[in-house]
Amino acid sequence: MKTVLIIHDGDGDEVATVQMLGQPVEARRVGCAGDLDRARALIAEYDGQVSAIALEGMPASLHLGPAQQPHTLGASLAAAANHTPVLDGAGVRPMLERWGTILADRAQPGIFSRKRVLMVPGLNHDGLAHALSRRGCTVRYADPLVFFAMPDLPGVGSPATLPRAAAPTLERLKAAPFHRVVPRPGTPGSPRAAAPFAWADVLAGEIGAIRRYAPATLHRKTIIVEWASEDDLADLRARGASIVVALLAGLVPADGLSRWSTAAVEALLVALRPNPDAPLTEDTYLDLLAEIDWSPAITYLQPEDAGVNKFAFVIHPLNVSFIHSHPWFGWTRYLPDDLVEAVAAYFPPLYVGKITGGRSPATGQRVEGYLISLGATPRQMMRHGERFTYTRLNRAAQMAERMGARIMGLGAFTSVVGDAGATVAHEADIAITSGNSLTVAATLEAAKQAVRKMGASDLTRGRAMVIGATGSIGSVCARLLAQAIYDVVLVSIEPEKLIALKRTIEAETPGANVIIATRSDELAGECDLIVTATSAFGQRVLDITRCKPGAVICDVARPPDIGEAEAALRPDVLVIESGEVLIPGDVTIGYNIGLPPRTAYACLAETALLAMDGRFEDYTIGRNITIERVKEIYRLFKKHGFQLAGLRSLGAYVTDEDVLAKRVLADTLRADPALFERTRREAAARLASIPASSKGVRVRQGPRLRWAWAAAGLALAGFGLSRRAGRPAEPAPTEEVAR
């Protein structure tokens, strides 16, 4: 049986027999307690007696970016043997770090995506820095901080400064003691600046350096190292770190040793070469590593972080009053609304709140969501080109990915602009859904409940109308309604698409009576149920005064198509919102989205539902929502215990007393046609005095703003945002090689 010797810079001896590549190997791990003479004596004693000697924590060479430098002490140890190879792990470390990062990302997709990474240090970890940068990470180097206690100055530690700083850094470290080059846990002699650690989502490098120089609080941070002992995990857990990724755990199946470093792994590979004369090159190691099936250890330190599927959802102000009500922008109510609305459209995406507590009663899977807001109202999104909104949604997707979300939902008008999420899904690295499949399912379920409450026991004998029937939501609503009601009126401003939709429905549902029109006015009075699902704004979508007594209007659009003043004209007509949803679990929505506690819009609920079911895929995108997707999402809805919230009308729940009052009035109007006609004419007269609007936006009147004012407001807003986003740096003392 072959034997390898592992000499480390600490105390204690261990022996273990491991199985690797189908062969047993005895590993002897011996400490030299920092005594170089002791290390040389061990090398001399085992030279020619073992297959390989590993120097653990005692590098023979230093690598940082483009620079390399022999380490005086380590190189002298490596040269002390005449027969047995002496290794420091440099031959396999870059490939192990790159491959280990890939394997960890496969085990937990997105665990590193778009993160801010601080290399602590980057010295001898080029492979890890390279692998993380390829996953969209922003990488900075803490080497000036770790080794020289430099203050956190702008640009110091950035990749741009690495080429010119690497050689001087290595020159100053080439004769440093091993415990300075590979730091150990403990209390530093000089405190380090905390700002770079606070900036980072991920700390990667040496476990000793991280424990020694990182601040006492590492809330929700991910730690990436070669290995981590139980003491290391306990310390990081106490500091609030969230995840530890030990890249080499699992590579060597043995419990006998407390740690396995890249130096030890390289020694094992050298010992197990089929050809003892094979060169000690990356190609030789690569062939051997290809035979090993392994996965890094990913340890969740905080119970609340383990096993949580994360999602994100994009919202935006429905009108300028939403901007005024935000705690950061309350001062904008003193500025002209048009100015505020125009300037806010240019705001970068903002994280505004968190959704916690979601849990499936069927599987126990927990979910957590992040709410990200754009600044543009629907009117501003329509005024600007599609690319304007796409660009901001792409930035929101990158934010979501960095937060750990693996799917992002598009709320309200963001799912309407352009191609309904198709471009965003193509350009984003995480899954995208518009949420419209569940919106359709919840809308139809809410509509069915509302019609029954209004006294229609058999809607199959009635007639339904869909306004905006050629849109992504309207078209599939129309197809499903035709299967249930058989008599549907389709209204759209796109006549050529109406013809195609009529033919589709007639082919899918033989016997269905399908009427198409470009205006709703003439046929609205014949319909028991009217679904509005338009993207129109600044116009009147439906003349509510023409509706038949006791009709139900289900307003799917967000912002809504029917305003409160219009709905009040016909108190016998029930206007409801599209079905809102209760997410299962002890749910807290940490931002006011305009709904009661635990209640979410269906598009948001679809995003949470897909995360709960582990369906991290582009789900509902584009304008062609399939009936199969609607039915599938409804099955998942039932599986995971989601429920429809109570019926709501214009922001308030509809009570049984409300419905009863409407039914009584509707019965009275149906029984007295003359009274109904008089009521309708009076309502029409009052409607004429209400400006035409949709989505809460009236037809624009008056001159446009001057862009000079908009530019001034934008500069003011940008200054405010930058003040909130900035973090002051903390100065630290400087030494030649600081402890």
pLDDT digits (tens, 9 = 90+) for 719-734: 444 444 433 333 333 3
Chain centroid offset of residue 327 CA? 24
> Angle CA(476)–CA(482)–CA(484) in degrees, nearest 5?
110
In eight-state DSSP terms, residue 82 is S
What does the pLDDT look like over 442-459, one tens digit per residue?
999 999 999 999 988 777
Token pair, residue 317, equals: 């102000």
What does the pLDDT look like over 601-621, one tens digit per residue?
999 999 999 999 999 999 999
pLDDT tops 80 at residue 709:
no
pLDDT tops 50 at residue 247:
yes
User: Kind of pairing, strands 308-315 and 297-300?
Assistant: unpaired
Q: Give the Cα separation of 193 and 204 in Å (integer).
A: 17
* pLDDT at 417 (0 to 100): 83
* Identity of the residue numbered 264: A
Question: How many helices, marked H, and strands, marked E, lie in the chain?
Answer: 26, 32
* Identity of the residue numbered 676: F
% of the chain exceeding 70 in pLDDT: 92
* pLDDT at 534 (0 to 100): 86
**Residue 73: half-sphere exposure toward Cβ, Cα within 13 Å:** 20
Q: Closest Cα partner for 318 from 439, 428, 412, 408?
A: 412
Measured on CA atoms in the order 568, 573, 579, 580, is the torsion positive or negative?
A: positive
Banded model confidence at residue 715, pLDDT cuts 50, 70, 90:
very low
* pLDDT at 435 (0 to 100): 92
Q: What domains, with CATH codes, occur in the chain?
A: 93-256+291-304 (3.40.50), 307-437+593-639 (no CATH), 441-582+647-697 (3.40.50.720)
Q: Closest Cα partner for 530 from 570, 483, 470, 576?
A: 576
Among the residue ranges 24-28, 321-325, 634-638, the one predicted with the least confidence is 321-325
Q: Can you list the pairs that 222-229 forms with residues at least 24 positions away whose Cβ atoms lie under 8 Å?
A: 222/111, 222/112, 222/115, 224/101, 224/104, 224/128, 224/132, 226/260, 226/261, 226/262, 227/259, 227/260, 227/261, 228/299, 229/258, 229/259
Q: Closest Cα partner for 168 from 731, 737, 739?
A: 737
* pTM of the full structure: 0.79
> Angle CA(524)–CA(526)–CA(531) in degrees, nearest 5?
50
Number of C-beta neighbours around residue 441 at 10 A: 27
Token pair, residue 190, equals: 């000089």
% of the chain exceeding 90 in pLDDT: 64
* pLDDT at 299 (0 to 100): 93
Q: How many angstroms separate the Cα of 718 from the Cα of each of 264, 329, 549, 713?
A: 53, 12, 52, 9
Token pair, residue 546, equals: 């023409």
Length of the chain: 739
Banded model confidence at residue 257, pLDDT cuts 50, 70, 90:
low
Token pair, residue 671, equals: 């029984």
Mean pLDDT over residues 632-640, rounded? 96
Banded model confidence at residue 465, pLDDT cuts 50, 70, 90:
very high
Sheet of 643-644, strand order: 599-600, 581-582, 643-644
* pLDDT at 256 (0 to 100): 57
Banded model confidence at residue 739, pLDDT cuts 50, 70, 90:
low
Q: Give the Cα separation of 332 and 668 in Å (integer).
A: 48
DSSP 596-644: -TTEE-HHHHHHHHHHHTT--S--S-SS---HHHHHHHHHHHHHTT-EE
Mean pLDDT over residues 316-334, rounded? 86
Rg (CA), the chain: 33
- Print the SS3 string covering 256-306: CCCCCCHHHHHHHHHHCCCCCCCCCCHHHHHHHHCCCCCCCEEEECCHHHC
Q: How many angstroms separate the Cα of 138 from the Cα of each of 117, 203, 672, 723?
A: 6, 12, 72, 21
| Burial annotation 462-473 (CB, 10 A radius, 16+ → b, else e) | bbbbbbbbbbbb
Mean pLDDT over residues 495-509, rounded? 95
Contact predicate 331/427, CB 8 Å: no
* pLDDT at 696 (0 to 100): 53
Q: Give the Cα separation of 400 and 532 in Å (integer).
A: 31
What does the pLDDT look like over 673-692, one tens digit per residue?
999 999 999 999 999 988 87
Token pair, residue 591, equals: 């931002």
Is 373 exposed, middle or buried, given 0-12, 13-18 or 19+ CB atoms closer than 10 A? buried
Q: Give the Cα separation of 498 and 479 in Å (integer).
A: 12
Is 70 exposed, middle or buried, given 0-12, 13-18 or 19+ CB atoms closer than 10 A? middle
Averaged pLDDT score across all residues of the chain: 88
* pLDDT at 253 (0 to 100): 66
Number of C-beta neighbours around residue 558 at 10 A: 23
SS3 409: strand
Is 276 exposed, middle or buried, given 0-12, 13-18 or 19+ CB atoms closer than 10 A? exposed
* pLDDT at 623 (0 to 100): 83
Q: Closest Cα partner for 443 from 549, 377, 533, 317?
A: 533
**Phi, psi of 123, deg, nearest 5:** -55, 125
SS3 476: helix
Q: Closest Cα partner for 544 from 559, 557, 555?
A: 555
Mean pLDDT over residues 174-187, rounded? 92
